[in-house]
Amino acid sequence: MRKENKLYHFGVLAILICILGMGASYAQCPTITSFTPASGPVNTVVTITGNNFQSGPGITSAQINGVTVTDFTIITNTEAQVTIPATATNGTITLASSACSGASGSSFTVLASDCNVVAPTEIYISELYDHNPGSYGVIELYNPTNSTIVFNGQYVLERYGDIGDAAPTPGYTLILTGSVAAHSTYLVSSWGTGEQGCNVTVSGNLGGGINGNDEFKLRKNGAVIDISRAPTYAWYSVIRKPNATAPSASYIAGDWNTSPQNGQSCSDLGSHTTTVAAPTTITTQPQDAAVCQDGQAQFSVVISNTVGFSYQWKMLNAAGMWVDVTNGAGYSGATTATLTVDPASADFDGSQYYCQISSTGCTLLTNAAQLVIIPQPEVTIAITEPTCTTPTGSITITPVVGEGLTYQINGGPFQASPTFAGLDPGDYILTIQGPGGCPPVNMDVTIDGTPAAPAVATVTTVQPTCAIPTGTITITAPTETGMTYSLNNGPFQPETTFGGLTPGVYTVTVKNAGGCTSVTGNININAVPAGPAVATVTTIDPTCTTLTGTITVTAPAGAGITYALDGGPFQDGNSFAGLAPGTYSITVKNAAGCTSVHTNIVINPAPNAPAQAAVTTVQPTCSVLTGSITVTAPIETGMTYSLNGGPFQTETTFDTLAAGTYTITVKNANGCTSVSGNIFIDPAPIVPDAAIATTMQPTCTTPTGSITVTAPVGSGLTYSINGGAFQSETLFDDLIPGTYTITVKNADGCTSVSNNIVIDAVPNAPAPAAITTVQPTCVVTTGAITIIAPVGTGLTYALNGGAFQAETTFATLAPGTYTISVKNADGCTSVNSIIINPVPNAPAPATATTLQPTCVNPFGSINVTSPVGAGLTYSLNGGAFQTETTFGNLIPGTYTVTVKNADGCTSVSNNIFINTVPNAPDLATVTPIQPTCATPAGSLNITAPVGTGYTYSLNGGAFQTETAFGGLAPGTYTITVKNADGCTSVSNNIVINAVPNGPATATATTIQPTCAVPTGSITVTAPTETGMTYSLNGGAFQTATTFAGLAPANYTITVKNADGCTSVSAPITLSPLPAGPQVTGTQGCRDTSFGKNYVLEGLPLDNSFDIATSDFEWKDEQGIVVGSNENTFNVSQYVDSNGIEATDFPLQFRVTVTTATGCESMYTFTVEASFCTIPRGISPNNDMKNDNFDITGLQARKLAIFNRYGKEVYTRNDYKDEWYGQADNGDELPTGTYFYVIETPADSYTGWVYINRQVN
């Protein structure tokens, strides 16, 4: 019946394959129901829940918004994890198998840094210059953009007399005209009186000078866009830094370089550079950390520029939300570059972190980092106690917490196997080591004594030596009467000693009178000790400084190794020092006393030192003040030389040496040195001091002079004038006027030359007076006479023959004619005459007409209409005088005109006013009406300013009084407003949007029909914006995104947006009902926690179902449920629990598999036998109990039986239970102990079996 069912399923499958032409897919598509967190930075681990992650072919790839995720893990059929890659963008998460895929219903948001540096887009003040002296200053503006900026009356520069003033200083408001090219400057002077401080070209003038504590504001359309400030003192240069924030409506002091007072410079005017700082970046990301439970974990971040940044670490909480980490509860450093978790308890396992690093205008987000807590291992222990037949116990460990555990018992080697078998009774320390180098866990375990079995033999060993190459094992306990002993399962003997043993591993079995045995652990007979290897040595030969050598043994080395030199005493140290040149030998001796000898080890003789240096010297002279030393020997190749212990050189000469004592060190190629005796460089000869002299100058009576040398004087000194012959006298007389030098020569022939000595010219009579006059003016009605030459010491002056005076000026003189007499110190005089003019008349005050500013020309002008004529000049507000009667380019303000005639007399006009520039209208406020599907053109409605006198232009077209512009195609527009004064303003760009598009084609996820739910559903995942409605196969529209209860078929989704536009999806397929699971099975003996048991296992055929998500129900052949929830069934336990005898076999069991989709299938097992434990004995007496050696469950390929002498007596291939104690020839084997070798497909087994032919 069961075989027929199986054939039926295969037949149906074959028919379906033929009908569908292999085109149908039996894969179960993955579906994603949710994921957490909903957002996170790169490297965030996202946990996904859904279904069919392991069903069918399984998940083969993952994506986020189309970007492949290389790091993903399928945990169960309903749970998976993906790690967000560096290239990911916001979007849905997709899991795909080789046949189909499933996408999330919502998008994951990738959190990213926002730290872009934006280049300036507006002009700004780049420099202030204040000149000293005078009232001259310059304000420099800079255009940092890539385009020319045309001012169009929008930009105004203002100067405030003091920082913080509410209004600009009158006369210090300038409307900028013209334009400024890209990356160019625009200079504005502020010049009243005095010199022009810098030779630069300006484009406008702001008032009459600037000062300390000034504030400058740049406005655009009335709003302040930039501010600069002068220092508290005058005469400065203030320059904006290239990396400054500019323009800035608030003053930032750190953005400016300010010179000290009087440190102003013209050199930077007209040029300015700006740099856009590179954005701050993360140079070191925090890394994932795996730490031992209760250890310390740290996450660190490094950024390229820390100035102005703050740190805040974030963590993912249990609700899937990123929240701030706060210090405490295991955290520290939450607002620093390093977050510390200490202690990292098990509760922190799987936690995720990232750091948010913030400054003004910049937010950096690090990658996420995961914290893995390596848990402290937790296990349960099952102990199998010794029995009489199995005299050892075992420990079986089952991990509860921890993976990859290894185990150690009593300090032995670690092993991955969770079982320690063959353990003698006693106390054991079980050590459990987890991964990652974490501290192990120790547990005390006791193996009870073997019941009624002898104690395990206590033995002593005699190990092999060099003289006796075999060992001995002697049992010291137990040694009671009746005890016998076996070595390595050999024959038992009453003697307690086993001698003549070759090196190897042995066990001793103790058997008491009752036949119970105990077996020792391994007893090692060591290998015969070997002699040591011949010594490997290194030598250090003698040198010039160390005349003895050293021998060091590099191998062999270690415990028990000693060394002897030339047959001397042995030592532990491996080095022999202080050795004279010669030949040596090294003897090595190990702990066993064996030796080896290394001969002919040579210590070379010490090298020789070079001869002392022989030298020649050149001594200093008057002309060359330094000396030199030259080495003449030794000068062979390889020699180098050092002066006074300085650096060595290959050259033999040391020159430019000051007077002193020197030594020469010679070093040869071996590094040996010799030092010369003292070598002397004499002092240079002394130069005489330059001559000091007194002079006798010519007078009117004596027309020649003389020079007398006053120092140096003395024996051996001679003197020369102007390079002439030397004389011993110190006086040179009869000298004509001129310049002289005195040369002094001493007895060594060294000379010195004096500074120039001047013999003055013979004094003359004074020249007639050269005179300047100050004539009477309108203000000062008297004149003055000033002598400008000759002037100087000894000259005096007289007016009109009056008394002489030293002063050169005669003031308060009435108009008339005067004479001036000059007398010098010699009493000589000269006379000159001069006239003081009558008092001149002042001109009449100016009358003038004005031309006021307009919208087109923001400057006014003043034209003087009288007085006019030859000799008249004019000054505006006290500025420079000019002959022209017109003053133009005047900004609004109050002015006066000063008239000056040819005589320098002036008059000042009344105040003359230049009115303010008419205001431009406000920028247009515009309401756009955007195109719609029904009306594809837009319109603009102006809401302000409106009223009488206003007209409007679109994109520079004709002006109109109407405030609406309709029928506009999509594009960018500007509105120009013109008022009654003709002034205009231009709006910012106004965008008419493109005609709205239809919605995007629907993307959707499906839930396919299952065995449990035979209908499917379709859910629209995009577009899902507000206003969207959806129709299935052209049906009624709905706002819900899901269509459920759908039969298998092809469907289309129509999406309609709020504008009524629609789009239709490609066909979406709901597949036919899934096929049921196909079940197969395996059976045989397996290791279990109960020992070796016979186990059945239900398995999928061709991956037709997922074991982890399927249910299993086991029934016996009567239909009684005997197991569930596992794909395995333990027949051995069933047999033991139900008293099943060998005669009850074969047994049948049926497993029913129910998949997650509700589909079912069955598989039947037939069990011929379930015996898995290898028998320790048989009693072939035909009582049907233990008659044969039954190992059916092992699936043995071969059985071989050996007697106690190692002779094979029975063998059979594909063995089950055929041996009942017979030899290969069929003869009965006698009662006794035999040994078996069993070969299975997976392993081989050895042991003993006892034949008992006694009849009870």
Rounded to an integer, the average pLDDT of 75-93 is 93
Residues 149 and 232 in one domain: yes
Residue 883 in domain: no
pLDDT band at 1073 (very low <50, low <70, confident <90, very high): confident
pLDDT band at 12 (very low <50, low <70, confident <90, very high): very low
Identify the pLDDT of residue 21.
35
| Other beta carbons within 10 Å of 834 | 19
Residue 507 reports pLDDT greater than 80? yes
Residue 16 reports pLDDT greater than 90? no
Query: Which phi-psi region, left, alpha or beta, contains residue 547 (left: φ > 0; alpha: ψ -120 to 50)?
Result: alpha
Q: What mean pLDDT value characterizes the chain? A: 87
Residue 417 in domain: yes
Identify the pLDDT of residue 794.
87
Residue 634 in domain: yes
Residues 942 and 986 in one domain: yes
Which of 24, 46, 51, 21 lies closest to 35, judged by CA?
46
Query: What backbone phi and psi angles, to 5 degrees, belong to 201?
Result: -95, 125
Residue 886 in domain: no
Residue 83 reports pLDDT greater than 70? yes
Tokens of 908: 């000042």
Residue 187 in domain: yes
Specify the DSSP class assigned to residue 761: P
> What is the value of pTM for the model shown?
0.34
Residue that is written with structure tokens 């309108």 in the block: 778
- Measured CA to CA in angstroms, residue 1003 lies from 32, 93, 407, 1233 at distances of 15, 13, 54, 78
Domain that holds residue 1131: 1079-1167
Bridge partners of residue 1049, in order along the sequence: 1070
3-state helix, strand, coil in the chain (%, to 5): 5, 45, 50
Q: Give exposure, 477-491, as e/b (b: 16+ Cβ within 10 Å).
A: ebeeeebbbbbeeee
CB 616 within 8 A of CB 676: no
Residues 130 and 234 in one domain: yes
Identify the pLDDT of residue 1217.
84
Burial class (CB in 10 A: 0-12, 13-18, 19+), 338: middle
Which CATH number do you get for residue 1112?
A: 2.60.40.10
Question: What would the pLDDT profile of 443-474 be if each residue is shown by its tens digit?
Answer: 899 998 777 778 899 999 999 887 688 999 99
Residue 774 reports pLDDT greater than 60? yes
Question: What would the pLDDT profile of 337-376 be if each residue is shown by its tens digit?
Answer: 999 999 999 899 899 999 999 886 689 999 999 998 888 8
Residue 1201 reports pLDDT greater than 50? yes
Residues 432 and 320 in one domain: no
The count of structural domains within the chain is 13
Identify the pLDDT of residue 766.
83
Specify the DSSP class assigned to residue 1228: B
Q: Which residue has the higher pLDDT, 386 or 506?
A: 506
Residue 521 reports pLDDT greater than 80? yes
Residue 491 reports pLDDT greater than 50? yes
Residues 746 and 657 in one domain: no
Burial class (CB in 10 A: 0-12, 13-18, 19+), 924: buried
Residues 962 and 1062 in one domain: no
Residues 151 and 252 in one domain: yes
The CA distance from 658 to 119, in Å, is: 63
Residues 971 and 942 in one domain: yes
Q: Give exposure, 1154-1187, as e/b (b: 16+ Cβ within 10 Å).
A: bbbbebebbbbbebebbbbebbeebbbbeeeebe
pLDDT band at 1144 (very low <50, low <70, confident <90, very high): confident
Identify the pLDDT of residue 18.
34
- Measured CA to CA in angstroms, residue 756 lies from 214, 676, 707, 762 at distances of 55, 50, 12, 19
Question: What would the pLDDT profile of 201-239 be if each residue is shown by its tens digit?
Answer: 999 999 988 989 999 999 999 899 999 999 999 889 999
Residue 131 reports pLDDT greater than 90? no
Identify the weakest region by mean pLDDT among 586-595, 1167-1176, 1199-1208.
1167-1176
CB 607 within 8 A of CB 584: no
pLDDT band at 815 (very low <50, low <70, confident <90, very high): very high
Q: Rg of the chain over CA atoms, in angstroms?
A: 58
Question: What would the pLDDT profile of 608-655 be if each residue is shown by its tens digit?
Answer: 888 898 999 999 888 788 999 999 999 989 899 999 999 999 999 999
Q: Which of 639, 660, 681 is the C-terminal boundary of a domain?
A: 681
Rounded to an integer, the average pLDDT of 39-61 is 89
The CA distance from 7 to 631, in Å, is: 113
Which of 332, 287, 342 lies closest to 311, judged by CA?
332
Judging by DSSP bridges, how do beta strands 562-565 and 751-753 pair with one another? unpaired
Residues 978 and 1013 in one domain: no
Sheet strands side by side (includes 378-384): 378-384, 393-401, 419-423
Bridge partners of residue 919, in order along the sequence: none
Residue 323 in domain: yes
- Measured CA to CA in angstroms, residue 536 lies from 422, 555, 711 at distances of 45, 5, 85
Residues 1163 and 1090 in one domain: yes
Is residue 1146 reached through a cis peptide bond, with omega within 30 degrees of 0 on the bond before it? yes
Rounded to an integer, the average pLDDT of 830-840 is 89
pLDDT band at 549 (very low <50, low <70, confident <90, very high): very high
The CA distance from 732 to 722, in Å, is: 11
Residue type, 535: A
Identify the pLDDT of residue 762.
80
Identify the pLDDT of residue 1245.
80
CA atoms within a 13 Å half-sphere pointing along the CA-CB vector of 858:
18
Residue 298 in domain: yes
pLDDT band at 436 (very low <50, low <70, confident <90, very high): low
Residue 10 reports pLDDT greater than 60? no
Residues 148 and 208 in one domain: yes
Query: Three-state DSSP class for 108?
Result: strand
Helix intervals (H) in 21-69: none
CB 1113 within 8 A of CB 1124: yes
Name, of 435-439, 575-579, 591-595, the range with top average pLDDT: 575-579
Q: Which of 359, 374, 389 is the C-terminal boundary of a domain?
A: 374
Residue 8 reports pLDDT greater than 70? no
pLDDT band at 1098 (very low <50, low <70, confident <90, very high): very high
pLDDT band at 242 (very low <50, low <70, confident <90, very high): confident
Residue 468 host element (H or E): none
Tokens of 605: 């003789």
Q: Which residue has the higher pLDDT, 180 or 387?
A: 180
pLDDT band at 307 (very low <50, low <70, confident <90, very high): low
Residue 4 reports pLDDT greater than 60? no
Question: What would the pLDDT profile of 911-944 be if each residue is shown by its tens digit?
Answer: 999 988 888 888 989 999 988 776 778 899 999 9
Q: Which residue has the higher pLDDT, 1092 or 1239?
A: 1239
Residues 1056 and 1140 in one domain: no
Bridge partners of residue 377, in order along the sequence: none
Residue 1094 reports pLDDT greater than 70? yes
The CA distance from 831 to 770, in Å, is: 10
The CA distance from 867 to 1203, in Å, is: 153
Residue type, 65: N
Residue 876 in domain: no
Rounded to an integer, the average pLDDT of 1133-1144 is 82
Which CATH number do you get for residue 1222?
A: 2.60.40
Tokens of 456: 């395990």
Identify the pLDDT of residue 512.
85
Q: Which of 110, 140, 160 is the C-terminal boundary of a domain?
A: 110
The CA distance from 791 to 806, in Å, is: 9
Tokens of 951: 């007209």
Identify the pLDDT of residue 6.
31
Bridge partners of residue 718, in order along the sequence: 745
